[in-house]
Each structure stands twice: as C-alpha cells, then as structure tokens.
Amino acid sequence: MIQSILDAISLGGLYSLAALGLGLVFGVMRLVNFAHGELITIAAYTLVLTTQFPLLLSLVLTIFVTALVALIMEFAIYRRLRGVSPAIMLVASFGLSTVLQRVYEFTFGALPKSAVVAPSLSGVVKFAGLSITISSVLTIILAVVILLAMGYLVERTSLGLQLRAASADFRTARLLGVRSNRLITAAFVLSGVLASFVAFILVIQNPVVNPYYGLNITILALVGIVIGGISSLRGAALGGFIVGVILSGLNTLLGNGRVYSYTWLFITVLIILLVRPGGLLSKGSELERV
C-alpha cells in the first residue's frame, strides 16, 4: 500500500518534470516540441555509455550533451520556423523527432544499449516492516528538489519573470523589452537540463535504452500539459503530476485489467478536456489556433 502510494507520487513527479520541460518551450514560442523525447533519449544514451566515469561527471556530461542537442534543434530548425503556425511547428517537431530516432538508430544501433547506472540506487530498503524501493524515494526527492529549484528560478529571478511574461503574452513581453531569441535559447537549454534529470531517473528504473526510449513519456507529458493548462508553467507541472498519479493508480487498482489502464487514462483526459477545454488551471476561455 505504502509502496503503491510512493510509486504513484514518484511517477507523478517524473512526469511533472517531463511536462515542465515541454511547457517551458511551449510557453515562449507556442511550440509543442515533440522531439523533447529525443532529448530524453540522448541523455539516457549518454548516461548508459559513460558508466565508467564517476556518477557526478557522467551526469554533468549528460546535461552538457543534452543541452547541446537542444540548442542544435533550436538553431538548425526552429529558428527558421518563427512566425509559422503552431500546427506546422508541431508537425515539424514530429519530423525532427523521427530524424533524431533514425540518427540514434544509425549511431548506436537498433539493439538496445544497457548498463547499470548507479547500482547503489536500485534496490529495496526495509523500513518499519515495509520494503520500499530506493528508486521511488529517490525520484520523489529529486523531483521535489528540481521542482523547487525551477520554482525559485521562475518566480524569483529575472529570467523567470521574462519566461512567465512571455508565456502569458509573448508579443507584449517583446514590446516591453524581453529579448525573444535569447529567451527562447534559454528555454531550450533549461528543457535540455530537465530532460537529463528525467533520463537519469528513468535509467535507474530501466537501463535498457533504445532509439524510442523517450517517446512514451513525452506523449504522456504532452497530455499532462494540456489537461493542466497550457498557458502556465504551474499548470504544466500539475498536469504532468496528475497523469503520472492516475496512471500509477490505475495500474495498481485494475489488477489483471491493467492492460486497459491507458483506456481509462485517456477517457479521464477526454472528460477533463470537455469540462475544462483550456485545462485545469485556465482562467476563462482563450482561443488557441493550433
């Protein structure tokens, strides 16, 4: 029971990190970056392929590589698509996502790569008669720390103020002196950093990395930011958390019927969207033409 609750919270925390990475970029440029999953994948590859180094070095290297790929995305593709409709940008990000998957397949091979990352962090501890997996506790701690750090960054710093202003109304923010290209670049770097942490948590639980590693979590995080409310970062984080908790809860409650947990998850999503089309944290109606 305790383990189920911990699992639900840790999955919620994980998805909320992924959703935040998507939400940051969406906020500043109305881009649903489907290729965010490929940032998670490259981070996972880097972690698995650098296990010979100390963990901290490996993690720093991962963040560096992932942020670099995020920057390449922005400079090579998205910068040339400014002013294009969000629907086209979404489809372009599908294309980019496919390109990167194929490049990974070409570079690392279609067969999965695997290695034990941080062996001390996988396993079970016994506590007051309960056995609890270390990874779920670690995930919760890590998610809380990162969310607090992000919260500080977004609420208390000048960069955060600009990000929030741009999410609320990009055009007005530009008029008030926010440098749009610099802000977008910063958002991409931050989403790369978040993707690295998501990958770190994922590889501890499942160290078998293939070219499609980040796809599933991206789809669910995407669902999360929409039901949370796309116009705010808080909504994105909340929505991701809700999706994670619902999915984990369904897996526990449905027992043998757990193959249908996605059906119930998506039905819940449909109901939330029909009741609140702008998401749970939306204020009033806002037309978004995607």
Residues contributing to the site for another protein (CB under 8 A):
32, 77, 80-81, 84-88, 90-92, 94-96, 98-99, 102-103, 105-106, 219, 222-223, 226-227, 230, 259-260, 262-263, 265-267, 269-270, 273-274, 277-279, 287-290
Q: What is the DSSP string of 160-197?
A: HHHHHHHHH-HHHHHHTT--HHHHHHHHHHHHHHHHHH
Least CB distance to another protein at residue 106 (A): 6
Nearer to another protein, 60 or 77 (CB): 77
Least CB distance to another protein at residue 89 (A): 9
Nearer to another protein, 187 or 223 (CB): 223
**Alpha helices of the chain — where are they, by DSSP H?**
2-29, 36-49, 55-76, 86-108, 134-156, 158-168, 170-175, 180-205, 215-228, 233-254, 261-275
48/204 Cα distance (integer angstroms): 10
Nearer to another protein, 99 or 144 (CB): 99
Least CB distance to another protein at residue 40 (A): 17
180/192 Cα distance (integer angstroms): 18
Q: Enumerate residues 6+ apart whose C-beta is below 8 A from 226.
A: 239, 269, 273, 279
| β pairing state of 208-209 and 113-114 | antiparallel
Nearer to another protein, 187 or 227 (CB): 227
Q: Enumerate residues 6+ apart whose C-beta is below 8 A from 236.
A: 16, 19, 20, 22, 23, 24, 26, 224, 225, 228, 229, 230
Least CB distance to another protein at residue 65 (A): 20
267/269 Cα distance (integer angstroms): 5
Supply 72's token pair.
């390449």
156/143 Cα distance (integer angstroms): 19
Least CB distance to another protein at residue 7 (A): 21
Least CB distance to another protein at residue 152 (A): 28
Nearer to another protein, 126 or 171 (CB): 171
Nearer to another protein, 61 or 212 (CB): 212
Least CB distance to another protein at residue 29 (A): 13
Nearer to another protein, 101 or 196 (CB): 101
